[in-house]
């Protein structure tokens, strides 16, 4: 059970406000309790999220019980074993509600809109998908009390009245206006200070507890150090990585756990996520390039090894999304673990996370000269580009054979595409990239600028009819698009990144808190100016043997894309640095190339 925010009450009445207050006390007492969880087949008659399920609720005059769950989620299993196995709870749910269960990894669009502070999320909805009440884990007796209160409020007409008022207010709500204050250097600096103010000097990381990794914040602090020489930023990066490694890194099997319940990183939630591991691998690689610590290489090796040994689908080449939490297993020694069954790997490959693994492994494999990691990244890329890519949509699917397309997945896929281009210089990747950028423009463009998180759906249920704009996803896309435009020599595309960032206001930037970090990275790239260095590589020669290539890859600067020129368009013995306005003379000195690609000390984040 995550606790990002307290359980949330929705639209009506004092009856459920009272229930909410009592429930918070119960969940505080329950959280952290040790409980052995076995797989349980719930007798609740769960439906999939669909128009048919909500039509059934309307036709039967019922409300919807929504359960947001995941295979890796410890407290989801607890709720199955307790609440959803209680005969009285099950009978009431099946007779009085239409129960809908959603896998949050398979449907992050639903999770984003209905998450009530962590997982499981327990939410009651109208037959039109409007939120009535929600919390996280709910014990059996409290579930009985809550359902009784909701059914009473529904029978009395209290819910119908509240929904009518809410719908009327929604109809009369003012439409969004143009951004108020634009994002400028002052805004970026102010947001950086706000972000840095959350740094935990004692334990590392950001905020108090629970303690989640914030990979983009570490990147922002690295850039701050590189651009200003700020030693406090340097210390914050190194201290956070050390404490995260100490608390979240699995010293036996490699990989990092998702987050810590406590401020000092000492009590992990034991699920391992592909997304978390790929992000930390990139942090470690970047920090190694800046600080050169051998401990970073050692931890990076453990994480990459975990990805290849545990999450890699050896048949398809794609990377599975997660491994289940099992507290007892992960507290065992190596010898004792060998005698027990490993926690289950959730055998689903998700487009965005798989792409993030590709990018992380290409970067780490190059910097640490590990051919096996590059080969694994190439296989995972081939899986995505052949089995997730839709020629008709010019987009990648979230999951194979399922027609779900998410903007964040497309952004991660573009990142992976640029990583593969940096490794191979293949012209067909640029062609694919043009198709992807075109598909994003056609399907995700938002009327207020930037891009929406989901496709427009004519028959959408509830708040899935709202196409939202993510500042983080749009900022990452702006950054990658700037790099792609230089590689593609496309001035028209080069004009889009500044328009994307300009579609968000200073108020929106400030409201995102720690999650505004991605926007600061994008701001750096646009201010620095995107560059591509093209290094001539002879035939099938190993990139590791090319001193210019390795010099370019040793520099940490997110404004630079390094591409292997296997066709030797410029020279087999030199490198050329290109911007949106032209290219340099031939560069033959590795040291000179590295100096040219370094972050400008005049450019601050």
DSSP string of 298-344, one letter each residue:
HHHHHHHHHIIIIIB-TTT--B--EE---HHHHTS-HHHHTTSPPPP
Sole residue written with tokens 């391992």? 272
Measure the CA angle with vertex 130, ends 53 and 114; round to 5°: 85
Round to whole Å and give the CA distance between 179 and 446: 14
Sole residue written with tokens 């939202």? 468
Residue 168 has pLDDT above 90, yes or no: no
Residue 286 lies in a domain: no
Asked if residues 204 and 269 have their Cβ atoms less than 8 Å apart, the reply is no
pLDDT for the residue numbered 212? 95
Residue 46 has pLDDT above 60, yes or no: yes
Residue 215 lies in a domain: no
Residue 407 has pLDDT above 50, yes or no: yes
Q: Among candidates 419, 493, 498, 470, which has minimal Cα distance to 182?
A: 498
Round to whole Å and give the CA distance between 389 and 369: 30
Residue 128 lies in a domain: yes
Over residues 360-397, the pLDDT tens digits come to 999 999 999 999 999 999 999 999 999 999 999 999 99
Question: Which residues, 6+ apart, have CB-to-CB distance to 596 below 8 Å?
Answer: 577, 584, 587
* β partners of residue 402: 399
Question: Which residues, 6+ apart, have CB-to-CB distance to 416 below 8 Å?
Answer: 355, 356, 358, 359, 362, 381, 384
Phi, psi at residue 272, to the nearest 5°?
A: -115, 125
pLDDT for the residue numbered 13? 43
User: pLDDT tier at 38 (50, 70, 90 boundaries)?
Assistant: very low
User: Among 31-40, 235-244, 494-503, which stretch is predicted with the lowest mean pLDDT?
Assistant: 31-40
| CA 285 remoteness from chain centre | 18
Q: What domain range includes position 96? A: 14-172
CB-CB neighbours of 552 under 10 Å: 28
Return the top range by mean pLDDT from 159-163, 208-212, 273-277, 507-511: 273-277
Residue 546 lies in a domain: no
Round to whole Å and give the CA distance between 248 and 260: 7
Of residues 332 and 545, more confidence is placed in 332
pLDDT for the residue numbered 145? 96
Mean pLDDT, to the nearest integer, of 596-602? 77
Residue 541 has pLDDT above 70, yes or no: no
pLDDT for the residue numbered 9? 38
Round to whole Å and give the CA distance between 498 and 502: 6
Residue 74 lies in a domain: yes
Question: Which residues, 6+ apart, have CB-to-CB distance to 64 below 8 Å?
Answer: 53, 54, 57, 97, 98, 99, 100, 124, 125, 126, 127, 129
Round to whole Å and give the CA distance between 272 and 270: 6
pLDDT for the residue numbered 211? 94
CB-CB neighbours of 454 under 10 Å: 23
pLDDT for the residue numbered 22? 44
User: pLDDT tier at 5 (50, 70, 90 boundaries)?
Assistant: very low
pLDDT for the residue numbered 11? 47
pLDDT for the residue numbered 83? 96
Tally of helices (H runs) and strands (E runs) in the chain: 25, 14
β pairing state of 560-565 and 531-536: parallel
Residue 145 lies in a domain: yes
Residue 160 lies in a domain: yes
Q: Among candidates 579, 580, 568, which has minimal Cα distance to 539?
A: 568
Residue 175 has pLDDT above 80, yes or no: no
* Domain of residue 22, CATH code: 3.40.30.10
Cα end-to-end span (Å), the chain? 35
Residue 534 vs residues 105, 396, 547, 552: alpha-carbon distances, Å? 38, 28, 13, 9
Mean pLDDT, to the nearest integer, of 12-17? 44
Phi, psi at residue 422, to the nearest 5°?
A: -60, -30
Q: Among candidates 455, 446, 443, which has minimal Cα distance to 500?
A: 446
Mean pLDDT, to the nearest integer, of 70-92? 94
Number of domains in the chain: 1
Give the chain's mean pLDDT: 89
Residue 416 has pLDDT above 50, yes or no: yes
CB-CB neighbours of 41 under 10 Å: 8
The model carries a pTM of 0.92
Round to whole Å and give the CA distance between 268 and 261: 6
Asked if residues 329 and 310 have their Cβ atoms less than 8 Å apart, the reply is no
Residue 361 lies in a domain: no
DSSP state of 117: S
């Amino acid at each position: 059970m995550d606790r990002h925010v307290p359980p949330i009450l929705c639209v009506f009445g004092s009856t459920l406000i009272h229930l909410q207050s009592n429930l918070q006390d119960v969940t505080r007492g329950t959280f952290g309790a040790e409980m052995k969880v076995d797989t349980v087949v719930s007798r609740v008659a769960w439906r999939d999220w669909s128009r048919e399920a909500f039509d059934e609720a309307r036709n039967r005059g019922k409300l919807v019980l929504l359960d947001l769950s995941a295979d890796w989620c410890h407290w989801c299993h607890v709720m199955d074993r307790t609440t959803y196995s209680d005969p009285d709870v099950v009978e009431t749910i099946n007779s009085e509600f239409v129960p809908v269960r959603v896998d949050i990894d398979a449907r992050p669009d639903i999770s984003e809109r209905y998450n009530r502070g962590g997982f499981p999320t327990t939410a009651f909805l109208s037959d039109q998908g409007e939120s009535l009440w929600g919390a996280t884990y709910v014990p059996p007796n409290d579930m009985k009390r809550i359902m009784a209160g909701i059914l009473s409020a529904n029978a009395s007409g209290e819910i119908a009245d509240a929904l009518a008022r809410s719908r009327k207010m929604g109809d009369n709500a003012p439409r969004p206006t143009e951004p108020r204050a634009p994002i400028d250097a002052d805004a970026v600096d102010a947001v950086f200070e706000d972000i840095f103010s959350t740094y935990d000097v004692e334990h590392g990381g950001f905020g108090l507890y629970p303690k989640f990794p914030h990979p983009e914040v570490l990147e922002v602090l690295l850039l701050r150090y590189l651009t200003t020489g700020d030693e406090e930023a340097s210390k914050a990066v190194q201290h956070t990585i050390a404490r995260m490694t100490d608390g979240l890194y699995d010293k036996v099997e490699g990989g990092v756990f998702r987050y810590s319940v406590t401020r000092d990183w000492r009590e992990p939630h034991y699920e391992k996520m592909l997304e978390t591991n790929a992000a930390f691998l990139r942090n470690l690689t970047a920090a190694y390039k800046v600080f050169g610590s051998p401990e970073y290489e050692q931890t990076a090796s453990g994480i990459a090894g975990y990805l290849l040994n545990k999450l890699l689908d050896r048949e398809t080449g794609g990377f599975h999304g997660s491994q289940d939490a099992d507290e007892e297993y992960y507290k065992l020694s190596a010898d004792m673990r060998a005698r027990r069954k490993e926690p289950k790997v959730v055998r689903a490959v998700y487009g965005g996370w798989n792409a993030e693994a590709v990018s992380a492994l290409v970067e780490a494999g190059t910097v640490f000269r590990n051919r096996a990691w590059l080969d694994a990244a190439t296989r995972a890329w081939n899986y995505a580009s052949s089995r997730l890519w839709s020629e008709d949509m010019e987009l990648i699917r979230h999951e194979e054979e399922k027609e779900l397309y998410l903007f964040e997945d497309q952004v991660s896929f573009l990142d992976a595409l640029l990583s593969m281009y940096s490794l191979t210089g293949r012209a067909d990747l640029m062609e694919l990239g043009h198709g992807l950028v075109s598909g994003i423009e056609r399907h995700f463009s938002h009327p207020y600028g930037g891009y929406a998180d989901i496709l427009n759906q004519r028959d959408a249920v509830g708040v899935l009819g709202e196409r939202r704009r993510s500042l983080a996803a749009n900022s990452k896309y702006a950054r990658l698009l700037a790099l792609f435009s230089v590689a593609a020599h496309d001035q028209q595309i080069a004009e889009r990144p500044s328009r994307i960032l300009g579609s968000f206001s200073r108020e929106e930037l400030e409201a995102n808190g720690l999650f505004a970090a991605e926007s600061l990275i994008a701001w750096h790239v646009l201010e620095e100016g995107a560059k591509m260095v093209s290094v001539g590589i002879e035939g099938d020669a190993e990139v590791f043997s090319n001193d210019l290539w390795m010099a370019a890859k040793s520099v940490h600067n997110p404004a630079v894309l390094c591409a292997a020129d296997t066709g030797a368009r410029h020279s087999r013995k030199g490198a050329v640095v290109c911007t949106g306005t032209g290219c340099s003379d031939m560069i033959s000195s590795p040291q000179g190339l590295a100096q040219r690609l370094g972050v400008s000390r005049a450019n601050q984040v």
